[in-house]
Structure 1
Amino acid sequence: MNRIKINLPEKFSFSTHLQIRITDLNYGGHVGNDTVLSILQEARQQFLQSRGYAELQVEEYGLIMADAMVEYKKEMNHLDQIKIEIVATDFDKMGFDLYYRVMIQKNGEEILAVRAKTGMMLFDYQLGKKVSMTEKIISVLQ
């Protein structure tokens, strides 16, 4: 079976911390894959807010997710303390990639739980179409 492999950048420009809630668990008793995307969305929103933006408020536009890749390394369980690190990179005319590293923090150690990447595009929601990135947006997100 071929598995995806996400090569993370060496440095991350943002981090936040969350705790796994009981409602984050699936029938297997660990964080479900749908919840992982929700956790990444929460971290992404915090990253954008740290830059003065929001997912639907990047200058006069918003962001739309073009793709997502998730590589699971360790189960996350109820009450786990996690650190999510993010970096924006691979900017081009229409968008950029966000890389995520999710670490479980336990007994003074950090254990890799998830590697992920989302492709984000600048989007005009009123017109329903992609728009070009600006140098200002790129400089703010880097």
Structure 2
Amino acid sequence: MARIKIVIPEKKIATVSIPVRIYDINYGNHVGNDSFVSIIHEARIQWLKQYNFSELNINGAAVIMRGLSVEFKSEAFYGDVLSIEISSGEISALSFELFYRITTTRNDKSILIAHAKTDMACFDYTKKKVMPVPIVLNEILGNNTDFN
């Protein structure tokens, strides 16, 4: 079976730090795959907060996750502080990709923990349908294309 291979784009838009919490640890004594979903979510929230936005309001648009892929590289443990570099990928009129490079430092050595990718769409919860990516979000993502 072919493994997922995630290539991180060079268009880095943020770096955030998230400590591994005790409840992130599974029976294998490392961060569980379910906790990676929460950690990636937290990273995205911290990135948006840098611009005073939330997932429910980016100039009137919400964002929802349409897909998630994770390529695990190494284990993460309680006490690790994860550094998460967020990069933007493809951007369309209604959706965009975010990529995450997750590392930690142990014994003065940087360790690659995982690569991840989320497919995001802008959404109008009152109309229950996708909507265009706001201009300000396009700019934050580094997109110079006008879809209007």
Same fold at TM > 0.5: yes
1:90 alignment partner, SS class: strand
Q: Structure 1 runs of 4+ off > 4 angstroms? A: none
2:12 alignment partner, SS class: coil
- CA RMSD of the aligned region, Å? 1.2
- 1:72 maps to a residue whose letter is F
Give the Cα–Cα distance (whole angstroms) in 2 for the partners of residues 138 and 51 of structure 1: 13
Give the Cα–Cα distance (whole angstroms) in 1 for the partners of residues 136 and 8 of structure 2: 25
* TM-score where L is the length of structure 1: 0.94
Q: How does 1:51-66 map to 2 (within 5 A)?
A: 51-66=51-66
Match of 2:97 in 1: 97
Match of 2:13 in 1: 13
Match of 1:4 in 2: 4
Give the Cα–Cα distance (whole angstroms) in 2 for the partners of residues 137 and 86 of structure 1: 14
Unaligned runs of 5+ in 2: 143-148
Which whole-Å deviations, capped at 9, do the CAs of 1:32-68 have from their partners, x for residues lacking one?
1110010000000011111231111111120000101
Match of 2:146 in 1: none
Alpha-carbon distance, 1:77 to partner: 0.8
Match of 2:145 in 1: none
Unaligned runs of 5+ in 1: none
Match of 1:124 in 2: 124
Alpha-carbon distance, 1:80 to partner: 1.1
Q: Does residue 81 of structure 2 align to residue 81 of structure 1?
A: yes
Cα–Cα, structure 1 residues 136 and 17, in superposed 2: closer, same or farther, change >3 Å? closer
Alpha-carbon distance, 1:98 to partner: 0.3
Is the CA contact 1:51–1:141 (under 8 Å) kept in the aligned structure 2?
A: no
- 2:34 maps to a residue whose letter is D
- 2:110 maps to a residue whose letter is E
Give the Cα–Cα distance (whole angstroms) in 2 for the partners of residues 139 and 52 of structure 1: 15
Which whole-Å deviations, capped at 9, do the CAs of 1:4-42 have from their partners, x for residues lacking one?
100111352211112111110111111111100100000
- 2:124 maps to a residue whose letter is D
Which whole-Å deviations, capped at 9, do the CAs of 1:71-122 have from their partners, x for residues lacking one?
0000111111210110223110111000000001112221100100000100
1:56 alignment partner, SS class: coil
Give the Cα–Cα distance (whole angstroms) in 2 for the partners of residues 140 and 104 of structure 1: 26
Is the CA contact 2:16–2:83 (under 8 Å) kept in the aligned structure 1?
A: yes
